[in-house]
């Protein structure tokens, strides 16, 4: 797991946020942590629970006490003795903390109140790498083209091809875009299925040759309808969680 050695954390973390590792900041301020926990509880902010090989569905913190917090117990709770709690803060940044499970209630989990919290300084609409086998097809000049998808954001994607299509796509508008993203193998608790997005139009805003190869990459801006844009956005958030889960295992 990451974040196990707290001896190297800057003493300033006891009163505020300080830089840590991998783009994270950390705090051990009881004032900041208590304020954050009460915001999660009072605003009903959804959190996700992690243990090795496990990721819960969204749940909520329903009580914050002096030394412990209570979380609505997921239906598939695996009976572990320590978990990580992951959530978005008011600035839409990913936060997480670890906590021992003190007891398991009929409908809740009693956790020890955390003494430190981590925040990832990376905002939404960030690009996520796509699973192996991800592809996109689209139509340009009445010709159907097929590319490998390397990464995706709510507003665009990076694709590549080793095939010469005989046309310079830079600056061109493409139509009828179909993006197919297979699910990762996942775990027994997390079943991942292939997802597909349809986008009526896009524009190639970047083009580059990879030196020493036949590969060419294209940055494509996507003009999705609002409903599909929301689906892509939700997919990206889920992929972020998957990456975090792998770091926690």
**Model pLDDT for residues 119-147, shown as the tens digit of each residue:** 887 654 467 888 889 999 999 888 888 99
Q: Say if pTM beats, i.e. exceeds, 0.75.
A: no
Closest by CA position to 235, among listed 119, 159, 154: 154
Of 76-85, 94-103, 110-119, 121-130, which gets the smallest average pLDDT?
121-130
């Amino acid at each position: 797991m990451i974040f196990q050695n707290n001896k190297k954390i800057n003493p300033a973390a006891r009163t505020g946020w300080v830089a840590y590792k991998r783009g994270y900041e950390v705090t051990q301020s009881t004032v900041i942590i208590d304020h954050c926990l009460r915001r999660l509880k009072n605003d009903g902010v959804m959190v996700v629970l992690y243990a090795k090989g496990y990721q819960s569905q969204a749940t909520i913190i329903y009580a914050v006490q002096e030394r412990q917090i209570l979380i609505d117990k997921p239906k598939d709770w695996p009976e572990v003795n320590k978990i990580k709690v992951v959530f978005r803060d008011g600035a839409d940044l990913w936060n997480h903390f670890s906590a021992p499970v003190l007891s398991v209630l009929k409908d809740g989990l009693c956790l020890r109140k955390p003494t430190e919290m981590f925040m990832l300084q990376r905002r939404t609409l960030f690009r996520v790498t796509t699973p192996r086998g991800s592809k996109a097809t689209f139509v340009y000049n009445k010709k159907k083209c097929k590319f490998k998808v390397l990464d995706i954001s709510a507003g665009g994607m990076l694709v590549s091809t080793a095939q010469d299509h005989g046309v310079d796509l830079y600056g061109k508008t493409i139509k009828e875009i179909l993006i197919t993203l297979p699910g990762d193998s996942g775990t027994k608790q997390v079943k991942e299925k292939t997802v597909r997005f349809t986008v009526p139009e896009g524009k190639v805003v970047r083009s580059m040759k990879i030196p020493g190869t036949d590969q060419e990459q294209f940055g494509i801006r996507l003009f999705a309808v609002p409903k599909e844009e929301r689906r892509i956005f939700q997919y990206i958030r889920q992929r972020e969680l998957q990456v975090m889960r792998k770091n926690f295992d």
